[in-house]
Amino acid sequence: MAMNIILLGPPGAGKGTQASRLVDEYGMVQLSTGDMLRAAVKAQSEIGKQAEAVMKSGGLVSDEIVSGLIGDKLDSLNADTSVIFDGYPRTAAQAESLDEILAARSRKLDHVIELEVDEDALVDRITGRFTCAKCGEGYHDRYKLPKVEGVCDHCGSTEFKRRADDNEETVRTRMAEYRAKTAPILPIYDARGLVTRVDGMAKIDAVNDAIEAILKA
């Protein structure tokens, strides 16, 4: 049976880092609306043009756009493929859309995993973040350096990049958006008994172990 899980947490909580571990270990598919939007901006598609300035400011892109991206992506997957939602849903309207999107595809939500983090540490995590320009593997200046300096562990590329919205000012706006619009959706899932909280301040491996324990339970 395909699993459908949501990783929820503020910017820098480790959603992308943990999702990519689950992709490697279980062959799950990561659906990151942030990654999809960044690809659209890079391609300068209609959606990309609409999203670019909003993302730069740290605000949220429209619910219609992101729910449309998620629905399309799910349609391209086999029904038995397990999925991790990373950075979606982010508003009550998106949570409602996700229910409809899943029901229409005979999927059901299995877990909402909240990565609990100390906000003060997040600016440090985000401003130190960089990724492989070729495969997208995520790194950090202090917490996760490539095993061989300047060479991606995953694909061997020597080119890396940093995100346009990873500066302190934008991060503060992204956090405020999370507090105002995303954190309030947790009670919706709590009421359905779907939420498990994980200590996102632990080491990357320990967070991964905690998530695996939830998936295996």
Omega cis (within 30) before 187:
no
- 49 tagged catalytic: no
User: Which residues have a Cβ under 8 Å from the Cβ of 27 and sit 6 or more positions away?
Assistant: 82
- By a kind-dependent CB cut-off of 5 to 8 A, residue 66 interacts, out of ligand AP5, Mg ion, none, with ligand AP5
Q: Which of 9, 10, 12, 16 binds Mg ion (CB under 5 A)?
A: 16
3-state secondary structure of 18: helix
CB nearer to ligand AP5: pick between 1 and 89: 89
Strand ranges, E, within 60-117: 83-86, 111-116
- 147 tagged catalytic: no
Q: Is 146 in the site for ligand AP5 (CB under 6 A)?
A: no
Residue for token pair 């059901």: 108
Q: Is 138 in the site for ligand AP5 (CB under 6 A)?
A: yes
Stretch that binds ligand AP5, among 74-82, 96-104, 136-144, 187-195 (CB under 6 A): 136-144
User: Which residues have a Cβ under 8 Å from the Cβ of 66 and sit 6 or more positions away?
Assistant: 33, 37, 88, 90, 94
Q: How far apart are CA 52 and CA 101, in angstroms?
A: 25
- 129 tagged catalytic: yes
The residues carrying an active-site annotation are 15, 90, 129, 163, 174
Positions that interact with ligand AP5 (CB under 6 A): 9, 11-17, 33-34, 37, 54-55, 58-61, 66, 87-88, 90, 94, 125-126, 128-129, 138-140, 143-144, 174, 203-204, 207
